[in-house]
Structure 1
Amino acid sequence: MTLPTSNQRALNKMDRMLVGLDQALRAVVPHSNPTTRPLPVSDDTIPELSITESRHVAGLMRINHTGEVCAQGLYHGQAFSAKDDGVKAAMQHSAEEEVDHLVWCETRLDELGSHPSVFTPVWYGLSFGLGAVAGAISNEFSLGFVAETEAQVSEHLQDHIEQLPPQDQRTREILAQMDIEELHHRETALDSGGRALPLPIKYGMRWMANRMKAVAYHI
């Protein structure tokens, strides 16, 4: 886990509020984030898809983009309320790593002539609230929440990969790289002390995620 730097400790309350506002805006406003890495694809050729295929892939990528927005909200909320400086720093670091995923999804949506979910600010706000509650409960619960979230994200990424048209290797490679990194975040959270969540909470998280996916696929 990344420890906070002296600069982070020196931030006053107003500085932290401004940083938080900037992070929130970057999470919900398309194309407001720089990416440190190019698309993880082996070929720059844009695959040819039928109208039906293109719409389906766009729906899947809109779900994945929404998932990344939720990840930003979750990590920012947990960093806001976490009791331990090490956990705060780790949450901020994870959020920064997930920014590339957000940009990759936006880029592929642009290529497909589509757009992110119109409810992006709502998804972020709900996730920030959940993250803040998890962070306030305990470090172990907060890290366990991250681990379970990443496990469920990995499940739907793998499901989406299976649904892609055979010729859409571009989207397949993007999602495969995202899956590798989501699972790494899960392992990091567990290694840092995250504990397994009670089954009712896991089921509740899955129910909420399925409702979000159903909406984001279309709008």
Structure 2
Amino acid sequence: MASKVVTDDRRIYSSTLVDAEAERSRGRHVCVVDADGFSALLRGRPAPCLELRRARTGRVRPVAAATTEARVLGGPLRARRTGRRASGDLTLDLSRLDEATAAHEATVGALIEHLSRQGVEACTNAAGAPEFDAGWSLGEDIFVAEVKSLTGAREDQQIRLGIGQILDYTHQLRSTCPSAAVRPVLVLEKRPSAVRWTALADGVGLRLTWAPEFAGI
């Protein structure tokens, strides 16, 4: 919706949003999503329905609906099926990419099963929340996890990336959900070769674990 040209000077809405607002005024719910929301829907993730508000410029500015406090966890998490692609003339090594994707989803699936055996349901992120790989609640604590495969990639690079991502997600969630006790978790496909990562994780308040045992969770 961000690229729509305004056709209603009084309300400063695009033609599409004028129609949507008219339908809403008649009591019919019309869901409005932006580019990020549409991208989330294509990936099977939830997307927030946006309110229609007047903007100062000639561009449409749908905004997220106001809530008392954002939610962290969404619906049940399911591991995605993966396949292999023909590389053709591409210079990118698709076989290694497929292996890494398969390892990631296998780790997600193993994590779901591990939690299920404890009577805990793994969840997706809630609409509007950062797109962490898995989340679950235990008592008053909400755990959010980033899953990293170590197949077909440099181990240290993957772990550094995962640490940065999950700490960023946790910071965002603690800002938008101040009453939630959010606990960050980095889940690896397998035990890392360097033992220093456990000490580093402890130092930044991050729980580090790996398949297949998932010790500590």
TM-score under structure 1 length normalisation: 0.28
Computing the radius of gyration from Cα coordinates, the structure with the larger value is: 2
TM-score by length of 2: 0.28
- Larger helix proportion of the pair: 1
Q: Which has the higher strand share?
A: 2
Q: Which has the higher contact order (CA 8 A, sep 6+)?
A: 1
